[in-house]
Amino acid sequence: MKIVTALFTSIILVCGQSVAQNSWTIHGGVKMIEYRGDNIQFYYRDESPAPDDFYTNIELTGKTIYTVGGNFNNYSKMNRAYWDLTGNLYFGKYFGADVGASLGYPLFLNGNKSFSILPTATVGGGFYNKDLGTLENNTTYIQVNDTRFKDYENVDISLSGFYVFLKPTIAFIFDVSHNAQVRLSGSYLINADFSPEINFNGTGQNGDNASDSEKLSESNLAFFIDGERTNDSPFKLSGLEARIGVSFSVGD
């Protein structure tokens, strides 16, 4: 976290000293996620007076999700260090959002500097929520902590958490006009999870919406990955990303 704070501070200082010839970039693309096995089940023992064991199979289709986002940056044809402040939304098989800051240096490949390669490294943090399916109720009711769900009703479950990340990126930048460029980029996200938990959502005893959550470290829940019990997340956010974007210069 000290590294992230220091990077954000240095970029804010640079922004304050260089307000001309900055750019906005909007982009979209795809991201890969990785499941840790070929067969995944979620297990939960509820906390009612007469507890029951529940098992749910996790759907493993769809390992590609989508992303949209943008950044504010100082890209120019002057020989200087590059920075940006960026944000992304992820959707598909899970929903997520992150923000970060990047540093790099453009390498121009022709005389008029209309084509460049831009290597950068981004650090930041984010949040994710992944739907895991439905906890099927075959008994009277499901209870999570002190939350009692409606009799004979199923309960939706999801996995959520916070993470910090490092993302090396290579971007290819082409001029399409004096004030606009197209960007093609590839990245690899490396992340570390913090406080992942299982969320339970359904109908309460009075017919209203009810929800509660449990940490993955609790003894009354677990994932079974190819038959082996684990209290870790069954999928990884780390992986390849590919994006296409358009940049527009401002402040010229």
* Range 91-104 average pLDDT: 94
The torsion of the CA quartet 220, 33, 58, 207, rounded to 10 degrees, works out to 70
DSSP track, 95-143: EEEEEEEEEE--EE-STT--EEEEEEEEEEEEEEEEEEEEE---SS--E
> Residue 147: its pLDDT value, please?
95
Cα–Cα distance measured from residue 222 to residue 24, given in angstroms and rounded to the nearest whole number? 44
The CA-CA-CA angle for residues 124, 120, 27, to 5°, reads 75
**Phi, psi dihedral angles at 43 (to 5 degrees):** -115, 140
- Return the number of other C-beta atoms located less than 10 Å from residue 81's C-beta: 10
- Return the number of other C-beta atoms located less than 10 Å from residue 115's C-beta: 14
> Residue 1: its pLDDT value, please?
46
> Residue 7: its pLDDT value, please?
45
> pLDDT tens across 159-206, in order?
999 999 999 999 999 999 988 999 999 999 999 988 899 999 999 999
Predicted confidence band at 252 (pLDDT cuts at 50, 70, 90)?
low
Q: pLDDT above 70 covers what percent of the chain?
A: 91
Cα–Cα distance measured from residue 218 to residue 200, given in angstroms and rounded to the nearest whole number? 14
Residue 32 is part of which domain span? Answer: 2-250
* Range 49-55 average pLDDT: 86
Q: Per-residue pLDDT for 50 more than 90?
A: no
* Range 2-15 average pLDDT: 47
Helix (H) or strand (E) holding 45: strand 40-45
> Residue 36: its pLDDT value, please?
84
Q: pLDDT above 90 covers what percent of the chain?
A: 64
Least confident of 12-21, 113-122, 199-208: 12-21
Q: Per-residue pLDDT for 14 more than 80?
A: no
- The strand pair at 115-135 and 53-57 is best described as unpaired
> Residue 58: its pLDDT value, please?
87
Please state, in angstroms and as integers, the Cα–Cα distance from residue 218 to each residue in 142, 198, 215, following that order.
17, 10, 6
| Total of domains in the chain | 1
What's this model's pTM, rounded to 2 decimal places? 0.82
Q: CATH no. for residue 207? A: 2.40.160.20
**Phi, psi dihedral angles at 246 (to 5 degrees):** -130, 130
Q: Per-residue pLDDT for 4 more than 90?
A: no
Q: Per-residue pLDDT for 126 more than 60?
A: yes
